[in-house]
Every structure is written in structure tokens, then in C-alpha cells.
């Protein structure tokens, strides 16, 4: 029991470490990469970037003025589904962003050159009178997406949620029954398009969407890891040698399901097995020699939990 408690304590400490690092990286990505390029890749901080440039006030103050009421409103309407880690994450991101704003300012990290004179169409003014600079939109977008992705991925790994504008999507989902994923895209899309309304530059929402795309891919890598799994369904009249190959050569288990064909109603065997990419390629090659008439359906699996794969989460 003591060993179990110690293990859980270490897991909690590590979770809060991930939460702290993720919150710090999020603030770095927002203040140093997203804000100087006038982008708004969704969320309350994306909207805060636009407001910060149009009506100068600190990003962190704009964001916390939205995050706190949203957390309260979300808890009131949706119930207490926002854990302590989400509240801690909200506070840490606010703190780190405030520190960076007060020390670093809104100066870009990636630029082709800084010019103090009046800017041209190819130049962007640093928010709050920091001069003009020649932007490198593509490189900055890639780096911003990578930093955002790692940051939010670490926050998710810690057991916290993003909160913020996602709460709006959750509330709308409760009353409209539109899918949550669609509502998240709509809310973040409106925030992203606010850059076009505020600054009249079509490239800003496009690059903001690119940040969101890169961020999503990186989040998946951080949360799920580099491993790629496939779920294979094999309908065959000769299941035994396929079963033997999976068990003896691939060292994997699976499930044999009995069914019947729709056309003739004949009884068929279906083997269900989950494999990594390498084992899937081996099995696919071997199937031709075992049963070239087998019907095979291979699907990409975003997450597989249980024995032989990732363990089931404790919470």
C-alpha cells in the first residue's frame, strides 16, 4: 500500500511538472511567435492577441478576464467537469504570459531584419510601437505550431484540459446537439477570421489555420507517441494457419469471431487483431501465401489501450 501511494505521488508530481513546462511553452509560443506576427490561432489567447494589438492592454489580462468567467459559467451549466489541473493550468499560463510580456515585450524571435523607419507593405509593425521588421511568415508559423503543439500536448498528458474557448463549444453542444468537434472548429474559426477583420490581411487567418494544423499533429505525437497501430479484420475460410502465424511469429493475440456472409449465408471466421505497422506489413505479406482469397480490412487506430499496448488510464 505504501509503495502504491509513493508511485501515485510520483505520478502526480510528474504530471504537475508536465503541466508547468507545457504552460511555460504555451506562453513562449504566444508572446514570442504568435503575437508579433498578428496571428490568432483560436482560443482565448488568440482573441487576446487581436485585442492586444487593436486596443493595447496585456494579453494575459485580456485572457484571464475571459478564462475565469468561462470556467465559472462552464461549471454552472455543465457541472464540475473542470478539474484542479485545468484551473492550475489557466493560472500558470496567465502568470508565464504576464512575466514574458513584462520582460520580453512583444518582440519577434524570427525575422529577416529590423528596421526602425516607416514600414512598407512587406513589413509588419511590432505591437505597441516596437518598430518595423521584415517577417518570415512560414518559418515562424512552423515554429509556433511546434511550440503550441508540444505545450498543449504536455498539458493534456498531465490530465488537464485546455478550457478557454472550448467551454463555449461545450455549452453550445449541450443546447444545439451539433458535434463538439464541429463547434470547436466554428468557434476557433471565428477567432481566426477576426485577424482579417481587424487587420485586413488575408495571409493572417491562413497562417493562423496552418498553426492550428501543425499544432494538432504535434499534440497527437506528444499524447500518443510515435508508434502507429493498425487494426486488422480478416475474413477467411482457413483461420487456423493465420491464427498460428499471429500467435507464434508475431507474438500477438487476437479474437476469432464467427459470422455469416450476407450473400450466401455461409458461416465464416473473422480474425480481429491489433498490430504495429511493422507486424501489419509482415502479416499482410504472409496472408497471400496462407489464404489469397481472404478478405482483409486494415484500419488506422488512433489509440489502443490494454495488455500489450498502452495501459488503461487510472483516471
The C-alpha atoms of residue 273 and residue 252 are separated, in whole angstroms, by 8
- Residue 116 scores a pLDDT above 50: no
Q: Is the pLDDT of residue 86 over 90?
A: no
Q: What number is the average pLDDT over the span 31-39? A: 91
- In sequence order, the β-bridge partners of residue 310 are 305
Please give the mean pLDDT across all residues of the chain: 82
pLDDT on residue 95: 96
Distance CA 169, CA 298 (A): 33
Those residues with Cβ within 8 angstroms of residue 238's Cβ, 6 or more apart along the chain or in another chain? 290, 291, 294
Q: Please give the domain boundaries of the chain with CATH numbers for all domains.
A: 2-224 (no CATH), 229-301 (3.30.70.120)
In this prediction, residues 265-286 reach a mean pLDDT of 83
Mean pLDDT of 205-218: 89
Q: What is the pLDDT of residues 56-77, one digit of tens each?
A: 899 999 999 999 998 888 888 8
Q: What is the pLDDT of residue 123?
A: 73
Q: For the segment 166-201, what is each residue's pLDDT rounded down to a tens digit?
A: 788 778 877 887 776 677 778 888 889 888 888 888
The percentage of residues in the chain with a pLDDT greater than 70, rounded to a whole number, is 87
Whether 315 shows a pLDDT value over 80: the answer reads no
Does position 4 have pLDDT exceeding 60, yes or no? Answer: no
Q: What is the pLDDT of residue 60?
A: 92
- Check if the beta carbon of residue 228 is closer than 8 Å to that of residue 276: yes
pTM above 0.85, yes or no: no
Amino acid at each position: 500500500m505504501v509503495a502504491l501511494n509513493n508511485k501515485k505521488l510520483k505520478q502526480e508530481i510528474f504530471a504537475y511538472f508536465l503541466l508547468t513546462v507545457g504552460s511555460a511553452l504555451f506562453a513562449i509560443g504566444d508572446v514570442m511567435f504568435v503575437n508579433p506576427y498578428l496571428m490568432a490561432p483560436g482560443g482565448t489567447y488568440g482573441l487576446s492577441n487581436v485585442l492586444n494589438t487593436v486596443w493595447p492592454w496585456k494579453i494575459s489580462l485580456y485572457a484571464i478576464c475571459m478564462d475565469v468567467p468561462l470556467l465559472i459559467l462552464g461549471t454552472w451549466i455543465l457541472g464540475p467537469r473542470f478539474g484542479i489541473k485545468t484551473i492550475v493550468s489557466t493560472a500558470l499560463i496567465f502568470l508565464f504570459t504576464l512575466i514574458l510580456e513584462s520582460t520580453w515585450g512583444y518582440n519577434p524571435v524570427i525575422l529577416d531584419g529590423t528596421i526602425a523607419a516607416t514600414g512598407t507593405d512587406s513589413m509588419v509593425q511590432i505591437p505597441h510601437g516596437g518598430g518595423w521588421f521584415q517577417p518570415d511568415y512560414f518559418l515562424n508559423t512552423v515554429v509556433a505550431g511546434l511550440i503550441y503543439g508540444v505545450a498543449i500536448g504536455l498539458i493534456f498528458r498531465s490530465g488537464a484540459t485546455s478550457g478557454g474557448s472550448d467551454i463555449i463549444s461545450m455549452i453550445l453542444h449541450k443546447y444545439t446537439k451539433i458535434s463538439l468537434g464541429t463547434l470547436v472548429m466554428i468557434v476557433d474559426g471565428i477567432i481566426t477570421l477576426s485577424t482579417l477583420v481587424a487587420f485586413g490581411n488575408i495571409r493572417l487567418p491562413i497562417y493562423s489555420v496552418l498553426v492550428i494544423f501543425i499544432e494538432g499533429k504535434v499534440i497527437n505525437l506528444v499524447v500518443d507517441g510515435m508508434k502507429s497501430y493498425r487494426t486488422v479484420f480478416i475474413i477467411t475460410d482457413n483461420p487456423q494457419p493465420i491464427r498460428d502465424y499471429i500467435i507464434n511469429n508475431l507474438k500477438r493475440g487476437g479474437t476469432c469471431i464467427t459470422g455469416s456472409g450476407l450473400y450466401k449465408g455461409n458461416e465464416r471466421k473473422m480474425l480481429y487483431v491489433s498490430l504495429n505497422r511493422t507486424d501489419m506489413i509482415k502479416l499482410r505479406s504472409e496472408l497471400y501465401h496462407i489464404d489469397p482469397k481472404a478478405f482483409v480490412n486494415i484500419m488506422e487506430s488512433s489509440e489502443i489501450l490494454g495488455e500489450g499496448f498502452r495501459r488503461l488510464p487510472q483516471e
